[in-house]
Structure 1
Amino acid sequence: MINQESMQVPLSDAGTSLHLRYIHNTEKTGPIVLLLHGAVENGKIFYTHNNKGLAPFLATHGYRCFVLDLRGRGESVPPISRGHDYGQTESIVEDVPTAVEFISNQLGERPQFWVAHSWGGVIMNSVFARFPEEIKYVDACAYFGSKRSLYNNHPEKLLKANVMWYRLAYYYTKKHGYLPAKKLRWGSDSETAKSHRQSAEWAKISPWVDSDDAFDYAYELSDKKLPPTLHIAGVNDKALAQPIDIKMFMKESGIGTQALNIYGKKYGHTHNYGHIDMLTHPNAVTEQFQDVLNWFRDHQR
């Protein structure tokens, strides 16, 4: 039987907390998994309340899953609104480390496996760069459609990135004080003006350097052996994470073991997966979800 419960993790700012969705079976003894969403999204990309999605799938195989909503997203409080001045730097230096410490304090163990969708993979590898001592606790990672800079020139990328993300989004953040992406039907959640600006700067072909303090993530990772990471791409993900984009992210993500699997009918799969349905399509359970499970089993220490 799969159980779900919500936990609120206080942050340093009074009245601000992160939401963790704890999804597990009744035994609560398996390895711990931390799951992180991408931009204009929240943790619901990994689960539904009726136990569909990657996190419940892993829970049925004994894993204890913690799905994190970054500050202001999902069920974290308060939701993003005008005046919130935090961005992805805060996600890297406080949100993810705070969630990891909370899990460690609650269960006496740190997450053994890390999973991300889209921009969440950039945040996670940035955490490894800032806090390399965390690497030794993580056996393996699985990143769905994660890239940093966009190298492809597909027409859909030119629309979604060059027009919408690099131009129109700045107009909306100036107008509203934040990016109301859900209202615009650009995604499932909002972004602060700062988180949009910082992610847009990195999504362009530019150095992987923090705009707050000039921390050079690429330099710090250049000689680091990160946990073995399985990268997942979909053949219908034309705009946001084509194989060339993912390969360039892999290239700047240390010297550890990395693999790239592409999911589509021409590779023997049942569906041509895109950026979102690589995690939400019913057939993912027997294809990429199963491959993630095997990856974790092969690399569990």
Structure 2
Amino acid sequence: MPTLQYRSLFVEPVAGVRLHLREICLPAGQTDQVAPSRGAILFLHGSIENGRIFYNEKGRGLAAYLASQGFHCYVADLRGRGLSEPKVGRGADHGQWESVVEDIPALHRFVADRHPQGVHWIAHSWGGTLAAATLIRFPELRPQVLSKTLFGVKRRISVRSLEFYFKMGVVWQGLAPLCKLVCGYFPAKPLKIGADNEPWGAIWQVTRWTQDRHWCDPVDGFDYSAALQAQHAALMSEPVSDYRWPRSWFLAGVNDKVLGHPTDVQLFIDELGAAETRFTLLSQVKGYRHDYGHIDMLVHRDAAQDHFVELADWLD
């Protein structure tokens, strides 16, 4: 593994908010010697996570792997998470609306200004749902997005199991509201339920989206389902470039029983209706080294010799 360069950058989408981007790349002068320059990637994490799901300073993780292969990687900490400021705490009133309308567009434009040839997007779990919502609201961004790679990404949760009732019923809809009354947010990190804390606004908005068949924003009423239908109709009548979806690859773990169940991933693919879409089930039956789950599809030690290699080739 070649030596990588790590640097912290900050983006200010609105006054008083600083979003952290971890830039990971080969040092200047090494790109052509070790690996050819292969473009820029913006990484988006999911709920009760931060950007660390994609990297560490020891060179492990998807972003570190792709940087070693010549990609210029930018790993986001969404608002209040990771090294972004201010941290999630009492009084934090933001949610996923701010991520979709303010933060992700600002992060993309920052990276796109540095790499005008285009930017790949890679997202895990709910980060991929927010990414899709951003491209529905702002279709003018789509020509600048070279591809989307989505790990364990769903919008609705349709599969019911004991694990579902515990994670979504007991934790998400029971413990999280109780925590809101006590401390004003969901302290997932000290409770050892997740890697980072979550503002209450995101909790109740995620709950709505995972339960409702019709996709609508509970904050401002934006109708994603209707917008998708209108955009698909426009593509049918004429090749409107702004409405074309980037080529997309959805990956699901066969052992992901709730948060990115393969059935729900396929439901989201069908809902989006993008033409150039690939779906892969990460399982031993399909030729992969392990039967992967929701988290280990990104953090397993063998992933860098497994589907990460395939992804690097696909991005090209």
TM tier, smaller: over 0.9
Aligned to 1:30: 38
The code of the aligned residue for 1:60 comes to: S
Task: Give the match's secondary structure for 2:163.
Answer: helix
Count of aligned pairs between the two proteins: 295
CA distance in 2, matches of 1:227, 1:136: 7
Contact in 1 for aligned 2:88/2:197 (Cα 8 Å): yes
Work out whether 1:19 is the aligned partner of 2:20.
yes
Map 1:129-140 to 2 at 5 A. Answer: 129-140=136-147
The match for 1:189 is 196
Contact 2:42 2:111 in 1 (8 A): no
Question: Would you say 1:116 and 2:123 are equivalent positions?
Answer: yes
- The structure 1 residue matched to 2:219, chosen from 212, 215, 223, is 212
CA distance in structure 2 between the partners assigned to 1:65 and 1:58 by the alignment:
7
Asked if the contact 1:118/1:143 (under 8 Å) is kept, the reply is yes
Match of 1:290 in 2: 309
| 1:3 partner letter | Q
- Name the TM-score, length of structure 1 as normaliser: 0.94
* Residue equivalent to 1:253: 272
Counterpart selection for 2:287 from 235, 253, 268: 268
| Comparing 215-224 and 75-84, the one that deviates more | 215-224
**Residue segments in structure 2 that go unaligned for 5+ positions in a row:** 32-36, 233-242
Q: Which amino acid aligns with 1:208?
A: W
Larger radius of gyration: 2
Aligned mates of 2:15, 2:199 — CA distance in 1: 16
Higher mean displacement: 259-268 or 33-42: 259-268
In structure 2, the residue corresponding to 1:267 is in which secondary structure?
coil
Preserved contact between residue 40 and residue 115 of structure 2 (Cα < 8 Å)? no
Task: Say which SS state the counterpart of residue 78 (structure 1) adopts.
Answer: coil
**Which residue pairs with 1:242 in the alignment?**
261
| Per-residue Cα deviation, 1:100-124 (whole angstroms, up to 9, x for no partner) | 222234x252652100000001010
Superposed, 1:217-232 pairs within 5 Å as 217-222=224-229, 223=232, 224-232=243-251
Correspondence for 2:160 among 132, 153, 159: 153
Residue type at the aligned position of 2:46 = G
Of 83, 93, 99, 2:107 maps to 99
Distance 1:266-1:114 versus aligned 2 partners, 3 A rule = same
SS at match of 1:252: helix
SS at match of 2:280: strand
Whether the 8 Å contact between 1:103 and 1:110 is mirrored in structure 2 is no
Name the CA distance, whole Å, in 2 between partners of 1:288 and 1:205.
32
Q: CA deviation at 1:207?
A: 2.0
Rounded to whole Å, the distance in 1 between the matches of 2:93 and 2:294 is 28
**Structure 1 pair 97/206, CA: closer, same or farther in 2 (3 Å)?**
same
The answer to whether the 8 A contact 1:86-1:195 is kept is yes
Give me the whole-angstrom Cα distance separating, in 2, the residues matched to 1:260 and 1:85. Answer: 36
For 1:290 and 1:140, locate their aligned partners in 2 and report how far apart those are by CA, in whole Å: 16
Residue 74 (str. 1) matches residue 82 (str. 2)? yes
Question: Given residue 136 of structure 2, which amino acid in structure 1 is its aligned partner?
Answer: A
Residue identity in the other structure for 2:120? F
Give the Cα–Cα distance (whole angstroms) in 1 for the partners of residues 227 and 249 of structure 2. 21
Question: Does structure 1 retain, via aligned residues, the 8 Å contact 2:49–2:81?
Answer: yes
- 2:216–2:225 Cα contact (<8 Å) kept: yes
After the TM superposition, list the runs of 4 or more consecutive aligned residues in structure 1 that deviate by more than 4 angstroms. Answer: none
Q: Quote how far apart the aligned CAs of 1:206 are.
A: 3.3
Q: Which moved more, 1:42-51 or 1:200-209?
A: 200-209
Deviation at 1:166?
A: 2.2
Contact 2:112 2:119 in 1 (8 A): no
User: Residues 256 and 262 of structure 2 are in contact (CA less than 8 Å); yes or no, is this contact kept in structure 1?
Assistant: no
Contact 2:112 2:144 in 1 (8 A): no
For residues 57 and 256 of structure 1, the distance between their equivalents in structure 2, rounded to whole angstroms, comes to 29
3-state SS of 1:139 partner: strand
How far apart in 1 are the matches of 2:306 and 2:168? 29
Residue 275 of structure 1 aligns with an amino acid whose one-letter code is H
Structure 1, unaligned runs of 5 or more: none
CA drift of 1:142 comes to 0.6
Indicate the residue corresponding to 2:93 in structure 1.
Answer: 85
Residue 174 (structure 2) aligns with: 167
Calculate the aligned-residue CA RMSD, in Å. 1.5
